[in-house]
Amino acid sequence: MSTIGTRIRDGRVARLARNTRAEQISTAAEPSPADTPYRLLWSTGIVAFVLCVVAFVLWGINGANTLFDMIVALCT
């Protein structure tokens, strides 16, 4: 049921109705925030997981010195 075109007699309600825009009233056309895809979040998580697996493999094969040397080389 729509109230478009009906007259409002109360002054306060009439001012409120005039100040309210159609975009604020009708949000049915906008997608719900719960339906938003989180592809960037998932891809970041997958990349972080792969980096952790690589770090643990390097730690197991060559020890912690290899990872430390890689970090020092990256930061300098």
pTM score, whole prediction: 0.45
CB 8 within 8 A of CB 17: yes
Per-residue pLDDT reduced to its tens digit, 33-74:
665 678 888 899 999 999 999 989 988 888 888 888 988 999
Tally the C-alpha atoms within 13 A of residue 41's C-alpha that lie toward its C-beta: 3
Helices 39-62, 64-75: inter-axial angle, 10-degree rounding: 120
